[in-house]
Homo-oligomer: A and B are copies of this chain.
């Protein structure tokens, strides 16, 4: 009797211990999910968010790799940032592969032996040298229960993915979906704002054939220089918008003066010079976000010169904001290399001679230094912006390995190899070519 009672009590104890341990496990799991929710919820930057989601999932599921694909409904594609590379993106049609299958059907696929499953496509492994053992692929639903993306988790560190892993990933996917929706909304709004600025600046420039495309090209040059200077994402954004809008003040200059074909009188020239100040006063009325507050100052400074002889303020050296110094170089480069009606472009050597002569007077030397480090494929794509379809991919690939500085050396001192000869030839072909109707 006694023994029975004891053994019953022990059993009760064991049961309650099991319950307790299950509860402790649940507390741990919920705490982890709360932490994940906080971590994923605290960025609206889509790139950063995708990176965080992949990192967290890999860790929580004790897996070797994780990729999150988002659905691009318009193009019916899946796309993802590859965590390893910088700004690398992979894209493929939704019809393809296991991820595509899950994106279309909403099924959860837990494949314990990849190579034994006919749905698995070993091509990627072949290309990358990676060996996929097992993989868990799961859809991500938004609040309206639409599939917005796919999780793919590869190679559980020990064994294969369990039912517990599936449940955990479901919870993570639900948290991630909310964060992705928010970041996408922010991204969409930002893109619409940027496309607005781009459209406006294109429309303004297009009023006159001489300035057509000018602000867009200046922006592309300026962003390149800013990248080569290794400025931060936010600084590049600032310079980008200031470049797009630097000539917005021309809205306040009468067209009869602005588009005059003949030589301007001093008075007329003074009227035109007012556009820099007008850019500032127009842009100052816009309630830009905190990190973009300097846009009016930068835009207004695109005609300042470091020796203090520029306008509107005659600022000297570091009184000019960095963005203004970058704009000054890009603005003049674009003006000098523009096609004029009935006229070819000025030779690039002549353009750079003018730029070099002004370096240290008009232009900040380190800006010109970085400008000359723009690679030739990028340079020609900007020079010929709007004619992208006319480039041969092989030509761009060759130009990719040479900079403007290299080109100047080749042109001045002669080619050291057949490739260098080809490079100069190809660049000059695109630089000088004509279009029908021009």
Question: Of all chain B residues, which has the CB nearest A202?
Answer: B285
Q: CA of A254 to CA of B289 in the docked complex: distance in angstroms?
A: 34
Q: CA of A251 to CA of B207 in the docked complex: distance in angstroms?
A: 8
Contact B186 A289 (CB under 8 A): no
Which one of B17, B20, B286 contacts A192 once the chains associate, using CB atoms below 8 Å? B286
Given A23-B23, A203-B251, also A196-B286 (CB < 8 A): yes
- From A8-16, A64-72, A404-412, give the one contacting chain B: A8-16
Contact A195 B38 (CB under 8 A): no
Asked if A193 is at the interface of the complex by the 8 Å CB criterion, the answer is yes
Q: CA of A178 to CA of B36 in the docked complex: distance in angstroms?
A: 13
Contact with B along A177-200 (1 / 0, CB 8 A): 011011001101111110111011
Contact with B along A251-289 (1 / 0, CB 8 A): 110111000000000000000000000000010011111
Q: Measured between C-beta atoms, what is the minimum distance from A177 to chain B in Å?
A: 9
Contact B23 A285 (CB under 8 A): no
Q: Which of A212-232 contact B (CB under 8 A)?
A: none
Q: Measured between C-beta atoms, what is the minimum distance from A11 to chain B in Å?
A: 12
Q: CA of A232 to CA of B290 in the docked complex: distance in angstroms?
A: 30
Q: CA of A256 to CA of B38 in the docked complex: distance in angstroms?
A: 58
Asked if A44 is at the interface of the complex by the 8 Å CB criterion, the answer is yes
Chain B residues whose C-beta falls within 8 Å of the C-beta of A182 in the assembled complex: 41-42, 44, 182, 186
Asked if A346 is at the interface of the complex by the 8 Å CB criterion, the answer is no
Asked if A34 is at the interface of the complex by the 8 Å CB criterion, the answer is yes
Asked if A175 is at the interface of the complex by the 8 Å CB criterion, the answer is yes
Q: CA of A24 to CA of B27 in the docked complex: distance in angstroms?
A: 9
Asked if A31 is at the interface of the complex by the 8 Å CB criterion, the answer is yes
Asked if A335 is at the interface of the complex by the 8 Å CB criterion, the answer is no
Asked if A428 is at the interface of the complex by the 8 Å CB criterion, the answer is no
Contact B38 A27 (CB under 8 A): no
Asked if A132 is at the interface of the complex by the 8 Å CB criterion, the answer is no
Asked if A19 is at the interface of the complex by the 8 Å CB criterion, the answer is yes
Q: Which of A20-48 contact B (CB under 8 A)?
A: 20, 23-24, 26-27, 30-31, 33-34, 37-38, 41-42, 44
Asked if A174 is at the interface of the complex by the 8 Å CB criterion, the answer is yes
Q: CA of A256 to CA of B193 in the docked complex: distance in angstroms?
A: 31
20 cross-chain CB contacts under 8 A: A9-B9, A9-B13, A16-B16, A23-B23, A37-B41, A38-B175, A41-B178, A44-B185, A44-B186, A185-B186, A186-B186, A186-B189, A188-B289, A189-B189, A192-B288, A196-B197, A196-B286, A199-B282, A202-B285, A203-B282
